[in-house]
Each structure stands twice: as C-alpha cells, then as structure tokens.
C-alpha cells in the first residue's frame, strides 16, 4: 500500500525516572486496521500508550511519532486528542464532584470547537449521548453520577468505550480494556468497538490475553518485549502465544 499510515512510529525511545522503557520501537498503522499489542507484564505496553497520548511523566529521548503525517511529539495532550487520538485507560481515574454528563459534554464541545463546528447546549447533548449510551448498554442514570466514582470495573471500562464512540476518534488505543471484565461485559464492549470500527479508523488493542481477540479480529498481532516489538504476525500469532506462552519467543 502506498497510502500514508495514520500512525508511524520510528525508532522511539522513552523513559520515566531515567529508566528507559521504550527501546527502539517501530510501528506502522493504516486506516481500517486493528492492531493488537501483546506482551508480558513490564514490557512497556502501557508506557507506549501513555507516550502516544503525551503524558507529561514520560520523556521521549529519541525517535518520531507521526500521526496523519504530522510529528506530534511537541504537541500537548489536548491537541493530540483534538487531532483524533484517544486513549482508553487501563485504570480510569475517579473524578469527584464532576458529573459524567458535564464531563462528556465538555469533552464533546472541546472537540467540536477544535473542528470549528458549533458547540452543543446541554439539551442537544442529551439527545446525542443517549444514542451512544445504547451502544454500550448503559442507562442514562449513569450520566448524573460522578466520573468513574463508585463505578464497578466493568462500568469504568464501558465508560471509556462510550467516550471513544462519542469523540469519534480516528486512532483509539485501548489499554487492557478487557481486563477485569466478565464475559457479558466483554461481549458488550466488543460489540461497541466492532460497531464503531470502520475503514476510516484505526484501533490498537493492548492486551495480555487472547480472549478479547475472539471477539475483535485483529489484522496484525505484535509481541512486545523489553521496550520493542519483537514479532509481528496475523491473528493466528495470538493463538500460538496463548498455547506456548511468551517464553516461547525468547
């Protein structure tokens, strides 16, 4: 394919507290593709997702991240978000005192503003959000609760997927969205993701287990170890990993 990839990562190195976590990472993602990144604990998967989103705790020491052909390393997290990068957090944080509805509306309107499109008022927003709620099987009572406060593990993850759908992001990185979910919640979330996905979007799934990939078919599976991608294959690679474990690759 000759198209510009939506995401191109070249020889990326990043550290936190002077510890180098990402060591020469390379990755290309095109529109319409789902990539799964698998790997043992501590291999740098979550760091990768944070670096992509621009978390200030991580320091990029070498390499490039090109998003839609644009080097985004100097962009603030909110600008990256406005460009279409979304990160579904592994541990979504609780925000006391702020209702989910206000939070979601603010995020939606920030995006509208960045696109030079009109912001919506609370009533218009309710119509929009109620449509999206159905996609992740959530009731509207959920809007009046504070962001992630007192949410069960499954509700927190559904809330992340809801936000992804609402913000209609071009590149979504889902960091262990499947962890801590029971089988019903996993089905609901997978359905949401599959409905959302189309040829103009790209998704990177970070996961430990093959389980999620039974519901969402990846185009590529990468194995990450010690801060770089050591093997890339098709969906079959995930099944092989499930059988043989990560040790097999060493």
Partner 1 sequence: MINQSNKTLNTNITKLVNQPYKYGFSTAIERDIIEKGLNPDIIRLISQKKQEPAFMLTFRLKAYQKWIQMSSPKWAQLKFSEINYQDIIYYSAPKIKKKLNSLDEVDAELLQTFEKLGISLSEQKRLTNVAVDAVFDSVSIGTTFKEELAEEGIIFCSMSEAVLEYPELVEKYLGTVVPIGDNYYSALNSAVFTDGSFCYIPKNVICPLDLSTYFRINDQQSGQFERTLIIADENSTVSYLEGCTAPQYDNNQLHAAVVELIAFEDAYIKYSTVQNWYAGNEIGEGGIYNFVTKRGLCAGNNSKISWTQVETGSSITWKYPSCLLVGDNSKGEFYSVALTNNYQQADTGTKMIHVGKKSRSRIVSKGISAGQSKNTYRGLVNITTKAVGARNYSQCDSLLIGNLSNANTFPIISVQNSTSKVEHEASTSKIGEEQIFYFLQRGISIEKAIELMISGFCREVFTELPLEFAAEADRLLSLKLEGSVG
* Structure tokens given for 130: 């109620």
If DSSP codes are grouped into helix, strand and coil, which group holds residue 16?
strand
> What is the smallest separation between the CB atom of 109 and partner 1, expressed in angstroms?
9
Task: Write the CB contacts of 130 (distance below 8 Å, at least 6 apart in sequence).
Answer: 140
> What is the smallest separation between the CB atom of 29 and partner 1, expressed in angstroms?
19
Q: Could you tell me which of 193, 178, 213 has the C-alpha nearest to residue 86? A: 193
Taking a C-beta distance cutoff of 8 angstroms, is the pair 58, 47 a contact? yes
> What is the smallest separation between the CB atom of 46 and partner 1, expressed in angstroms?
13
Which residue, 30 or 55, has its beta carbon nearer to partner 1? 55
* Structure tokens given for 170: 């071009």
Which residues of this protein are in contact with partner 1, per CB under 8 A? 15-18, 53-59, 76-78, 81-82, 86-87, 89, 92-93, 95-99, 102-103, 106-107, 110-111, 114, 146, 163, 167
Which residue, 6 or 52, has its beta carbon nearer to partner 1? 52
Which residue, 175 or 218, has its beta carbon nearer to partner 1? 175
Which residue, 121 or 214, has its beta carbon nearer to partner 1? 121
Task: Write the CB contacts of 18 (distance below 8 Å, at least 6 apart in sequence).
Answer: none
> What is the smallest separation between the CB atom of 207 and partner 1, expressed in angstroms?
20
Which residue, 81 or 177, has its beta carbon nearer to partner 1? 81
What is the torsional sign of CA 93, 96, 102, 107? negative
* Structure tokens given for 44: 């740098």
- Identify the helix (H) or strand (E) that includes residue 75: none
> What is the smallest separation between the CB atom of 214 and partner 1, expressed in angstroms?
28
């Amino acid at each position: 394919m000759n198209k510009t990839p939506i995401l191109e990562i070249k020889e990326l190195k990043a550290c936190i507290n002077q510890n180098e976590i990402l060591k020469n990472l390379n990755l290309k993602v095109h529109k319409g593709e789902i990539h799964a990144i698998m790997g043992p604990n501590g291999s740098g998967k979550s760091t990768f997702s944070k670096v992509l989103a621009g978390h200030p705790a991580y320091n990029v020491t070498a390499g490039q991240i090109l998003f839609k052909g644009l080097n985004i390393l100097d962009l603030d997290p909110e600008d990256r978000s406005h460009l279409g990068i979304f990160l579904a957090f592994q541990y979504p944080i609780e925000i006391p005192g702020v209702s989910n509805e206000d939070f979601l509306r603010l995020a939606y309107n920030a995006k509208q503003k960045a696109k030079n499109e009109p912001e919506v008022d609370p009533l218009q927003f309710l119509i929009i959000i109620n449509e999206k709620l159905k996609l992740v099987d959530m009731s509207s009572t959920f809007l009046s609760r504070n962001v992630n406060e007192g949410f069960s593990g499954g509700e927190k993850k559904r809330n992340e997927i809801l936000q992804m759908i609402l913000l209609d992001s071009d590149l979504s990185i889902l960091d262990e969205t499947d962890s801590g979910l029971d089988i019903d919640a996993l089905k609901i979330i997978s359905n949401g993701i599959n409905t959302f996905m189309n040829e103009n979007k790209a998704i990177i799934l970070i996961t430990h287990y093959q389980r999620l990939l039974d519901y969402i078919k990846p185009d590529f599976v990468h194995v990450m170890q010690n801060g770089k991608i050591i093997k890339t294959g098709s969906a079959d690679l995930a099944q092989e990993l499930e059988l043989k474990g990560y040790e097999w690759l060493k």
